[in-house]
Amino acid sequence: MADPKLTKTPDMGEVQAKDFVEQFSESITKLTQALSTTRPQAMTQGNTIQMYKFTTDMASTTSVGEGEDIPLSGVKRTKDRSFTVNFEKARKAISIEEVQRVGYDMAVQQTDKRILKEIQKNVRKGFFDFLATAPTDLGAQGGLQNAIAQSVGKLQVLFDDDAVDTIVFINPMDAAKYLGAADITNGASVGFGLTLLNNFMGGVTLIMNSSVPEGTFYATVKDNINLMYLDTNGESRKLFENKSITTDETGLIALVRDDNTTNLTNQSTLYWGIKIFPEVANGVIKGTLAAPVKA
C-alpha cells in the first residue's frame, strides 16, 4: 500500500488547470538578514561543541618590596558549557504517474522548493525562539527610542572591555507605531525616524522581522550569537557520492534527490543541523514596549 503522504493528484491541483504563479511567498531575505547577525561556523566532523573559560587567580598583593620575590598569579583554562548539534531530516516522494500528469517541474522541482521554504521558515522561527529565551530582561520600556537607549546602555555595561555594535530586533508594527507618532520635518535629521534610530549612539543596527512578537524587542551585540552548523559538504556528503546533492541559498540545508525503481518514485531527502548559542550567555537581552513617557 502506498504511503498516504505520497504527493499525487489532487494534491497538485487539477490536471491541465491553468497555473496562477505566486508573486508573494516566503522569502529567503528575512532569514538571511537574521542569520547575518550571527557568527556562523561549520562543523566538518563531530557534532559536539565544548566551550572553555579562563579563570585568573591574582596574587594577594602587587606591592612588592625591594629585593623580595614577586608572588605568582595563576591562570587556568577550564571547561564551561557544551552543546550538541544534531541532524534534522525530511523526505518527499513523487510517483511516475504524477510526473506524467503534471510534468516533472511541477511534480518534483516546485514541490522541493515548497518543502525547502517551510524548513527555512522553521530555521528562522528557531532563531527568534532562541532570542526569546534571553536571560537578561529589561522589562517594560517607555517606547522604542527608550528601549534602544536602554539596550545600548546595558550591553555597554555587559561588554565593558570590548568595543561593540548593538543589534536590536523589533516587530515591523512597532516600527510603524513609532513612525506614525514621530514628528516629520525636512532635511537629513528627519525627526528621529528609523534612519536616525539605526545610527543611534553611533553603532545600532535595527532589524525588523515579523517573527519578533509585537510589543517585544531583543538586543545583543555583533558576533555574540554563534551559529554552528553541520557542514553538508563535509564527511556526510561522501555517503551520497553517486546521488544528486544540492544546497539551499544559505548553504545550511542539503537536498539529496534519488530515484526508487522498486516503486517508480522520485524521492527528495533533506537534512540539516543547526545550533544557535551566545558566547556571552547574559549578553542577549529582551524587553517589552510600553507607551512612551511624556516629558
68-99 pLDDT, tens digit each = 999 989 988 888 888 889 999 999 999 999 99
Task: Compute the 3-state secondary structure of the chain and give helix, strand, coil in percent, each to the nearest 5.
Answer: 30, 30, 40
pLDDT in the model for residue 288: 95
User: What amino acid is encoded at 42 in this protein?
Assistant: A
Percentage above 90 pLDDT, the chain: 37
pTM of this structure: 0.78
Q: Which three cell numbers stand for residue 258?
A: 534519488
pLDDT in the model for residue 292: 64
Residue matched to cell numbers 537534512:
271
- CA 10, CA 7: separation in Å to the nearest integer? 9
pLDDT in the model for residue 245: 86
When pLDDT is cut at 50, 70 and 90, the band that residue 10 belongs to is: low
Domain 27-58+70-295 has CATH 3.40.50: no
- CA 219, CA 280: separation in Å to the nearest integer? 13
Q: Which three cell numbers stand for residue 5?
A: 503522504
Kindly give, in sequence order, each residue whose CB lies less than 8 Å from that of residue 170, ignoring residues fewer than 6 positions away: 144, 206, 207, 208, 209, 212, 216, 217
Q: What are phi and psi of 287, to 5 degrees?
A: -175, 180
- CA 113, CA 93: separation in Å to the nearest integer? 14
Whether the predicted pLDDT of 168 surpasses 80: yes
3-state secondary structure (DSSP) of residue 88:
strand
pLDDT in the model for residue 192: 45
User: What amino acid is encoded at 243 in this protein?
Assistant: K
User: Residues 100-115: pLDDT tens digits?
Assistant: 999 999 999 999 999 9
| Nearest by Cα to 131 from 32, 225, 31 | 225
**Residue 144 contacts residue 289 (beta carbons within 8 Å):** yes
Structural domain spans, the chain: 27-58+70-295
How far, in whole angstroms, is CA 290 from its chain's centroid? 26
The pLDDT mean for the chain works out to: 83
pLDDT in the model for residue 131: 93
Q: Which three cell numbers stand for residue 256?
A: 539529496
Kindly give, in sequence order, each residue whose CB lies less than 8 Å from that of residue 68, ignoring residues fewer than 6 positions away: none
Residue matched to cell numbers 517541474:
105
pLDDT in the model for residue 184: 55
pLDDT in the model for residue 189: 46
Q: What is the mean pLDDT of residues 180-189?
A: 58
Whether the predicted pLDDT of 295 surpasses 60: no
User: Residues 195-251: pLDDT tens digits?
Assistant: 555 555 457 888 999 999 999 999 999 889 999 998 888 788 888 888 888 888 888
pLDDT in the model for residue 23: 57
- 181 versus 12: which is more confidently predicted? 181
| Nearest by Cα to 269 from 279, 261, 282, 259 | 259
pLDDT in the model for residue 15: 46
Element (H, E) at 76: strand 74-84
Worst-scoring range by mean pLDDT, 70-79, 120-129, 140-149, 180-189? Answer: 180-189
Q: What is the mean pLDDT of residues 285-292?
A: 87
